Amino acid sequence: MARPNEWANKVLALCKGGNTSAAIAQIKVAPSAKDLNALRTLVVTGKLVGRWRDVDIAIEENMALLAAPRLHRSP
């Protein structure tokens, strides 16, 4: 059984708590594209798309950056 993605849950909790600037800072240093995808899934399934427009933009921009092979972060 897979472990739930703790990073995505914590970033979503920051958003729900009203600290979107901290959430965006965390998104910019996301551990992997998989983690960002988990966060995006949580936002979509929670029907929160559009609630925090700047967070949505940060997720999409960083997904594009991590998709480029030259910008993958080493573990």
pLDDT tens for residues 51-72? 889 988 999 998 888 877 665 5
Residue 1 lies in a domain: no
Quick one: tokens of 66?
Answer: 């991590």
Q: Tell me how many domains the chain contains.
A: 1
Query: Would you place residue 75 in the very low, low, confident or very high pLDDT band (cuts 50, 70, 90)?
Result: low
Residue 56 lies in a domain: yes
Segments forming the whole domain that contains residue 57: 6-70
Query: Would you place residue 30 in the very low, low, confident or very high pLDDT band (cuts 50, 70, 90)?
Result: confident
Mean pLDDT (whole number) for 32-40 = 89
Residue 28 lies in a domain: yes
Beta strand segments in 1-75, E: none
pLDDT tens for residues 42-51? 889 888 888 8
Rounded to two decimals, the pTM is 0.78
Please state, as a whole number, how many other Cβ atoms lie within 10 Å of the Cβ of residue 5: 17
Does 3 score more than 70 pLDDT? no
